[in-house]
């Protein structure tokens, strides 16, 4: 057999095609990838070069440039520096719809095959080539080599190339020559140079099955894999929404590939939407670094419903999974693997200015396309602040995540405007809660202390503000609730309509009270709801068929459960009461937020890492500083648990 078998296929053949051994092999030693590998990058192409680097390129959402990046592992591609290799022209050819770049190393040079249209004729799509003679394609000069001519002029895209023996082939997508035909077909031709083909092209496939003709008649994005004495050519079909799926063409490696009769077409898609991955397709192939396992790289969205044109939705993300092989040597694509998310950083976040991040609340920012975390920013680094002055004079910090919650970067302060009688610019800002109203307006419920103080004997009010951009907060109004000493609002939508707020009434032994509203502005206080234990920072959420409340009781987090969000039953033990083992996590956890996303629940909390050991009772910057952490909640028989010392794979899905 002249073609390298994958690790799994080799194991299967060595066991004389034993089904039992095949199942064992597919479960053993498969690499797992923290999908998505690269966010908002469609039509991915990955090359594992002889220098040991993976080189990556893909369509960017702006459709205006070609990017390259490289990394030692597939998992590192998402954080690798993206370098612009080429930008679109201002007009004429190559000035619009820059799509589907592929990077290939041929005869000692690098080539990028890509698709481009015209600013004055968007759909005059053609194939073009760039060339670079540098050893590293991120260096050197990319030279335009013009249009790659296919033999006739029509809508053409998605070129790829592969070698078999002494011959090199070009496969691509193009609209046929038949009059009135609007669909796209897969074509193949032999290449005489990396810039040109020779001889006539052969049509290998056109849309003929129903699954290839959903909304549009499409066969596109061919990708070749030569294995086990055969040539496997995948392609994608139908509209670029959740209906997008992958088909497969197969030919014997020794056959005349330019004879359409040499190819067999699968009647059903080999890879389609499943496990929360919608519209998987436009793939490429690579291998693990040791070359022992084949890897399928593709794009998909993590939601089904799209508003507007799917081509304008940027959230086709690059993903990867191991390609399995059957005993007969044919590929088993299986189904898209559900995203588990990346392992969250530990600590998750430290404020770079004051180092006092606490009381987190996490919410999706649709304008930014990122998750935002608002937090109380205690003044841990500020010197000369007596007693508890360092927890006053605080502002609300903002951090953001563009990798579904795994890592966070500082994004500045919330622009909050308060009247002078409530402290104005000198007021203390604590524990924000933020929800989005039905009209798209954002509502903040902020604990405000009218100044900076060295004791706790001062009023604390609940203030309501609104924002359209989630940065600037205006129209401050004080909410009249049970007393003049209330903190830590939490707001949740009620199933029957309206909203409910829970808060800490410090005037009643720090009991948890609640209030109701029909419009998020006017509130009616309903009185006490939890009083068995003093606590603060209530967080209420629905999950696993129940209402849950988590409060900070200064010995970890108390947990309550309810069927009606009024009567609560407390769980026997607290969460995060003891010490963890991770960085900045070797103390109890406090004041948490919970985000429920795609059926999973994540607990965001803060710690004072320096408050342990012999120095626990000191009052210096190390004891004052705080860090944000995250852990996934687990529910067993009506009880919440966490495993804070295990890696937390987090995947916060965009909120529509």
* Three-state secondary structure call for residue 627: strand
Quickly tell me which residue has 């992958």 as its tokens.
246
* Rounded Cα–Cα distance for residues 46 and 76 (Å): 13
Instruction: Reduce the secondary structure of 366-391 to three states and give it as a string.
Output: CCCCEEEEEEEECCCCCCCCCCCHHH
Q: Single out the residue of 626, 628, 586 nearest to residue 605, CA to CA.
A: 628
- From CA 321, how far away is CA 334, in angstroms rounded? 10
d(CA 362, CA 432): 10
- Cβ neighbours of residue 32 closer than 8 Å, sequence gap 6 or more: 340
Select from 640, 522, 644, 656 the least CA-distant residue to 585.
644
DSSP annotation of 274 reads B
Ordered DSSP codes for 539-604 = EEEEETTEEEEEEE-SSSEEEEEESSSSS-EE-SS-BS-S--SSTT-SS--EEEEEEEETTEEEEE
SS3 content of the chain, % helix, strand, coil (to 5): 10, 50, 45
User: Strand 627-636 vs strand 639-642: parallel, antiparallel, or unpaired?
Assistant: antiparallel
- Let me know: does 92 contact 77? Beta carbons within 8 Å: no
**Which contiguous run of DSSP H or E holds residue 284?**
strand 278-287
Tokens for 277, please give them.
């991955």
Residues annotated as catalytic are: 43, 220
Best CA proximity match to 367, nearest among 474, 299, 442, 289: 442
Task: Please identify which residue in the block is written with the tokens 């009769």.
Answer: 261
Q: Count CB atoms within 10 A of the CB of residue 45.
A: 26
* Angle CA 100–101–107, to nearest 5: 145
Distance CA 446, CA 395 (A): 11
Are the C-beta atoms of residues 414 and 401 closer than 8 Å to each other?
no
């Amino acid at each position: 057999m002249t073609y390298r078998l994958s690790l799994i296929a080799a194991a299967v053949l060595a066991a004389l095609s034993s089904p039992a051994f095949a199942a064992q092999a597919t479960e053993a030693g498969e690499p797992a990838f923290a999908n998505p590998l690269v966010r908002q990058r469609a039509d991915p192409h990955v090359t594992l070069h002889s220098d040991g680097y993976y080189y990556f390129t893909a369509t960017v959402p702006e459709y205006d440039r070609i990017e390259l990046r490289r990394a030692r592992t597939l998992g590192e591609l998402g954080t690798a520096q993206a370098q612009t290799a080429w930008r679109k022209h201002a007009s004429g050819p190559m000035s619009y719809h820059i799509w589907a770049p592929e990077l290939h190393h041929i005869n000692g040079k690098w080539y990028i095959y890509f698709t481009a249209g015209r600013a004055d004729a968007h759909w005059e799509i053609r194939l073009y080539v760039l060339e670079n003679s540098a050893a590293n394609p991120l260096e050197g000069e990319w030279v335009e080599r013009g249009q790659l001519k296919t033999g006739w002029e029509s809508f053409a895209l998605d070129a790829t190339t592969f070698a078999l023996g002494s011959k090199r082939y070009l496969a691509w997508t193009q609209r046929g020559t038949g009059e009135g035909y609007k669909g796209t077909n897969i074509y193949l031709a032999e290449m005489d140079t990396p810039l040109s083909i020779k001889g006539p092209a052969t049509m290998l496939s056109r849309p003929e099955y129903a699954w290839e003709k959903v909304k549009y008649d499409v066969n596109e994005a061919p990708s070749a894999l030569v294995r086990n004495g055969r040539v496997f050519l995948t392609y994608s079909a139908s509209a670029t929404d959740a209906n997008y799926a992958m088909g497969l063409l197969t030919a014997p490696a020794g056959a005349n590939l330019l004879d359409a009769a040499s190819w067999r077409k699968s009647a059903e898609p080999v890879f389609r939407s499943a496990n929360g991955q919608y519209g998987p397709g436009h793939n490429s192939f690579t291998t693990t670094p040791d070359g022992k396992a084949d890897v399928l790289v593709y794009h998909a969205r993590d939601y089904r419903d799209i508003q507007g044109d799917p081509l304008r939705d940027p959230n086709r993300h690059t993903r990867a999974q191991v390609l399995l092989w059957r005993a007969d040597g044919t590929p088993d694509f299986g189904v898209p693997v559900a995203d588990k998310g990346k392992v969250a950083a530990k600590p998750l976040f430290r404020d770079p200015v004051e180092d006092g991040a606490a009381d987190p609340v996490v919410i999706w920012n649709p304008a930014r396309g990122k998750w935002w975390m608002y937090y109380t920013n205690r003044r841990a680094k500020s010197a000369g602040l007596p007693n508890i002055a360092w927890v006053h004079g605080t502002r609300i910090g903002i951090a953001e995540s563009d990798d579904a919650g795994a890592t966070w970067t500082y994004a500045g302060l919330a622009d909050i405007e308060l009247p002078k009688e409530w402290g104005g610019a000198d007021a203390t800002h604590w524990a924000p809660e933020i929800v989005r109203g039905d009209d798209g307006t954002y509502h903040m419920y902020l604990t405000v202390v009218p100044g900076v103080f060295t004791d706790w004997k001062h009023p604390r009010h609940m203030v309501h503000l609104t924002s359209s951009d989630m940065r600037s907060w205006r129209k401050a109004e004080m909410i009249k609730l049970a007393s003049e000493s209330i903190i830590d609002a939490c707001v949740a939508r009620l199933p029957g309509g309206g909203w409910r707020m829970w808060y800490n009434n410090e005037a009643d032994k720090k009991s948890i009270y609640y209030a109701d509203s029909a419009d998020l502005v006017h509130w009616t206080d309903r009185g006490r709801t939890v009083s068995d234990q003093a606590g603060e920072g209530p967080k209420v959420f629905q999950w696993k068929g129940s209402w849950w409340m988590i409060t900070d009781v200064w010995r970890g987090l108390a947990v309550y459960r309810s069927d009606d969000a009024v009567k609560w039953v407390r769980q026997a033990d607290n969460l995060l009461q003891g010490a963890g083992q991770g960085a900045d996590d070797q103390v109890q956890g406090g004041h948490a937020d919970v985000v429920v996303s795609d059926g999973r629940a994540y607990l965001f909390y803060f710690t004072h890492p320096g408050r342990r050991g012999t120095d626990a009772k000191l009052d210096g910057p190390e004891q004052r500083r705080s860090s944000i952490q995250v852990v996934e909640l687990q529910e067993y028989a009506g009880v919440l648990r966490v495993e804070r010392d295990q890696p937390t794979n987090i995947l916060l899905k965009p909120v529509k």
